Structure 1
């Protein structure tokens, strides 16, 4: 794939995220991982603007367009080029560079300096990022906290996290909603509620699929999905259940969502996307537009090693069977808004559940 391909640099960012080994300081390590995403977002925002102006999309071309002083004539045509590293997320530009470029490419600096990136660091103390929360756009802040808690010293999410995360999923725009949803997970973990963590994980899955389906986050889809698979979803399970254990399956779900979204938009079932309003997209994932979409695009689940919970085994079995049915249905190009009786009977079969359960006490 050439540098003209939009996936090239994102695959490099994904490789960087996967290759880095965690050191002694877990907070700094995660900040370095997040820096790959921040820098990648900034580069992709600049590349998108350059491409819209009819320019090439390689790192060299993007740097030449926005920062021509970085290229000094020499034996190889230039002697200093940080843009390939910036494209791969491994070289964070200085604040001065971001400010200078923002003067001719307004709004691009926001992608790298947005305070909400801090919310992705689950290794930091929960309320160390309260300032970043207060700088979230009002629709996103109000979805999680409402209007009352804004004057409190310590912010707490609404009691009914399912409702607040549903509201959040309806206003996905950029990365703010995704980062805010991670903070809800951090809040649930601090409260020690593992069942809530698993539920929040399912909502996070939905918000992630929507986030990486348009705009700059679409150009970060592989690296964002990899980051969440490695650092976020392992924290969103319960003592018995792991959510989204397969990176490949998570990537396929994101790709499938975009395929079916495009088809439904062409058919007029889902309206055109309006920035900041993903309420119709959410309906694809919450069952409002059919069980096939809801289950086919749902997270993957797996029993945690050593689990002896019969309830957890039944949960994982049923969700796995429903996901397989939903995906098979959608991949076949048909629609079945209601789970057929044959699938329901399969899920209710105690023999099949027992077959997949290790030693259940």
Structure 2
């Protein structure tokens, strides 16, 4: 049977957690836009501090040592939740900050003054952990339609697993099972450190995976999907539509006279116009739809379960919303408008690939520009070319238009 030395594993856990925290903070210093790295880095430092307290006490869980050490861990759990919110650019409101500060204070005071029984302390600690870890998983599970989902769902499942372990522990404590309390052996403490280190490393790798996934998949200026990520998602959505026989539509959007906006008001204002359009597009998206920056001032929307009628209504709604919301940007009367080309695949129809739909939407977009801009144009119906029967003379013909 494998045995672990308490002092050795404790020292290793402190060093690794401190190193991971420092690396995350250094990563934030390099990528200042990812404030979530600050929260996760500080979380590692709190975990390192907690283990350092227990290691310095040589594993002796006195009446004040365990509550003090666990309070640091609970602070780390609370900061993990804050980091997940920061990852989604959600505000850390005053009530959340107050809850973060109150968590270790409440736990320590409750344990020292009101909860001398170890079981009661375990119930309280586990309940608080469940709240913070469950909240973190909940934040990640609600994926914005324009955000990469794979990495965050992996981390959400990891957090849900941690929460499940805490729930099982909570149920056991409530049922009266004796927890590992003040009579833990050095080896049991070492295994506890090892398990905690595993979860800490897992969360660190998961968090960095999410950040790198977003950096590789999102346009930095608008925070929409970049072209590569958009086309991958659009291809998957089209395959799903073809398999189920449901409609799908592509909208190709171009900001009218965008070069003129840059020339008249400067590139800073032009960037703000692009960001403002991205916000408008996000608000109009339904669950399951995709939006991304296709290139320059062109954007692409892929509408799930939307035939030509629905797509044209949504395109017209987008056009009008842009006119209303982008009249003035940063105090400048930019009067921004958009031209939109729409290509739709109706229910039961087939098409060779997403490139064919984008080409059709592009032709419709050029027609919208030629027609005076600030308008929506629907492309001709898409039909997949069918192999023709051979003629008597041996020649073959094919039909199909886009």
Q: Please tell me whether Structure 1 or Structure 2 has the larger radius of gyration of its CA atoms.
A: 2
Q: If the TM-score is normalised by the length of the shorter chain, which range does it land in? A: under 0.3
TM-score (norm: length of structure 2): 0.24
TM-score (norm: length of structure 1): 0.26
